[in-house]
Structure 1
Amino acid sequence: MLVAAAVCPCPPLLVPEVASGAAAELDDLRAACDAALGAVLAAGPELLVVVGPGTDHQWWDQGAVGSFQPFGVDLRVRLGSGGDPAAEPSLPPSLAVGAWLLERSGWAGPVRGLTVPDHLEQRLCAENGRQLADAAERVGLLVLGEGSARRSLKAPGYLDERAEGFDAGVARALAADDPAPRLAALDDELAFALMASGRAPWQVLAGAATGGLRASLSYRAAPYGVGYLVADWTPA
């Protein structure tokens, strides 16, 4: 059963070593992510699952290694404890950021990872979510992904006038009294056009939710033309 969830973006710039001289620009975002994940851990999950966007629909075992070397930083992370710390890095960027957030949180319990591609339809996302919720008596989720990457002229995908409204709708959903139906109803084609990497992970979360959780949105901004949203769902 899902007992709590944190929703965070996963830009590699969240890691100070990657952001380098610009690290301070995302201090508020890091603090919001830390607080949201802390709220999940306070709910006492037995298993934590990190869900993020990726090119493949794939499960990742505890101890899998990630690296920020592709972003110019010789920094390795592991998805929880165990595994071979010298193994070849395999985690996709989203789960590497998730592993980094978990290391900051001090989580030492069981953890798994799941990546979902941006073309995964809502029905399959929901099915994945239900499987996650049944994986243990008390399941916590760290759900990673961004809103539209087309929020400004300098955004990765250039400006799209629909982007701000789409992100506003996601923000309302993440903060709603009954958020799951709103997330499940997100338009996957529009999300794809707006380069919103969080759509599939958010719909996995919607599938895992069974009610009885209180939603709180703590961060909403688009500092680099990309929508960043942070929320937590904790016991009501």
Structure 2
Amino acid sequence: MLVAAAVCPCPPLLVPEVAAGAAPELEAARAACTDAMGVLAASRPDLLVVVGAGERAGERSGRLAYRQGSRGSFRGFGVDLDVRLGRDGDGPEPGRELPVPLAVGAWLLGRTGWSDAPVEGLAVAAATAPDECAAAGRDLAARSRRVALLVMGDGSACRSLKAPGYLDERAEPFDDEVARALGAADPAGLAALDAGLAGELKASGRAPWQVLAGAAEGAGLSGALLYDDAPYGVGYLVATWS
């Protein structure tokens, strides 16, 4: 059963070593993520699963699981920094490096010293249909008596002229609805997000958020929105459900 969730953005710039001189610009987002990690720890889960979008995840089922000890890297961003998903566990699988959203999640866990529950990862293809995301979430919630999720994903990337997807007038209302649903711990609101519109707005969080929606069905959790801003024209949100 799902007992807690933290929702965080997943830009590599969240990692100060990657951001370099621009690191102070996301300090408020990092602080909110740290607070969200505290909510996860306080929930004392038996299992923590980091959920994020992954390009390779759509090869068959639309999902790709990563076991504890899987490794990721920020070397592709010019930084000599590696991360590990939780403790050593079974170790990484050959050729299975964490996708960037899960690597950022692993960095957040390492930064806050997570050492309690076992940690696994789940990458969900960005194009996964909402009902399939919900089914994945229900599967995760049934994995253990006390399950927590760290859900990594960004809002629209079309909030300004300099945004990766340029300015789209639909972007801010879309992000506002996500923020409302996250702050209210409203699974139905997340489940109702338009996958086609999310794709057009380059919102990488849509599929992971809808996994959360499936996992939270009937859990009766309360929500808190900790951060809502759009630096670089991309919607970044931090929220907790507990």
Is TM-score (shorter-chain normalized) higher than 0.5? Answer: yes
Matching of residues 5-84 of structure 1 within 5 Å: 5-55=5-55, 56=57, 57-82=63-88, 83-84=90-91
Partner letter of residue 159 of structure 1? L
Per the TM alignment, residue 40 of structure 1 is displaced from its structure 2 partner at its CA by 1.3
Between the aligned residues of both structures, percent identity stands at 63
**Aligned in 2, Cα 1:84/1:49: closer, same or farther, shift over 3 Å?**
closer
Partner letter of residue 64 of structure 2? Q
Partner letter of residue 212 of structure 1? G
Matching of residues 26-175 of structure 1 within 5 Å: 26-55=26-55, 56=57, 57-82=63-88, 83-84=90-91, 90-108=97-115, 109-175=117-183
Partner letter of residue 200 of structure 2? A
Partner letter of residue 124 of structure 2? V
* 2:163 is aligned with 1:182: no
Per the TM alignment, residue 84 of structure 1 is displaced from its structure 2 partner at its CA by 4.7
Partner letter of residue 121 of structure 2? G
d(CA) in 2 for partners of 1:41 and 1:47? 11
Specify the SS of the correspondent of 2:222.
Answer: strand
TM-score by length of 1: 0.96
* 2:201 is aligned with 1:194: yes
Please give the per-residue CA displacement for 1:64-100, whole angstroms capped at 9, x wherever unaligned: 0100000000100000111558x76711101100000
TM-score by length of 2: 0.93
Per the TM alignment, residue 137 of structure 1 is displaced from its structure 2 partner at its CA by 0.6
**Aligned in 2, Cα 1:131/1:89: closer, same or farther, shift over 3 Å?**
closer
Per the TM alignment, residue 211 of structure 1 is displaced from its structure 2 partner at its CA by 2.8
Per the TM alignment, residue 105 of structure 1 is displaced from its structure 2 partner at its CA by 2.0
Partner letter of residue 99 of structure 2? P
Specify the SS of the correspondent of 1:196.
Answer: coil
Q: Quick check: 2:68–2:91 contact (8 Å CA) kept in 1?
A: no
Q: Quick check: 1:67–1:89 contact (8 Å CA) kept in 2?
A: no
Equivalent residue, structure 2, for 1:233: 241
Specify the SS of the correspondent of 1:189.
Answer: helix
The count of residues paired between Structure 1 and Structure 2 equals 233
Specify the SS of the correspondent of 2:38.
Answer: helix
Q: Quick check: 2:2–2:219 contact (8 Å CA) kept in 1?
A: no
Partner letter of residue 49 of structure 1? V
Please give the per-residue CA displacement for 1:44-83, whole angstroms capped at 9, x wherever unaligned: 1110000001111210111001000000001000001115
Per the TM alignment, residue 107 of structure 1 is displaced from its structure 2 partner at its CA by 1.5
d(CA) in 2 for partners of 1:67 and 1:119? 24
d(CA) in 2 for partners of 1:78 and 1:118? 23
Per the TM alignment, residue 104 of structure 1 is displaced from its structure 2 partner at its CA by 1.4
* 2:225 is aligned with 1:217: yes
d(CA) in 1 for partners of 2:165 and 2:70? 31
Partner letter of residue 114 of structure 2? W
Specify the SS of the correspondent of 1:59.
Answer: strand
Per the TM alignment, residue 132 of structure 1 is displaced from its structure 2 partner at its CA by 0.4
Please give the per-residue CA displacement for 1:137-169, whole angstroms capped at 9, x wherever unaligned: 100100000000011110011111100110001
Runs of 4+ aligned structure 1 residues displaced above 4 Å come to: none
Specify the SS of the correspondent of 1:26.
Answer: helix
Specify the SS of the correspondent of 1:224.
Answer: helix
Q: Quick check: 1:50–1:114 contact (8 Å CA) kept in 2?
A: yes
Per the TM alignment, residue 106 of structure 1 is displaced from its structure 2 partner at its CA by 1.5
Partner letter of residue 232 of structure 1? T
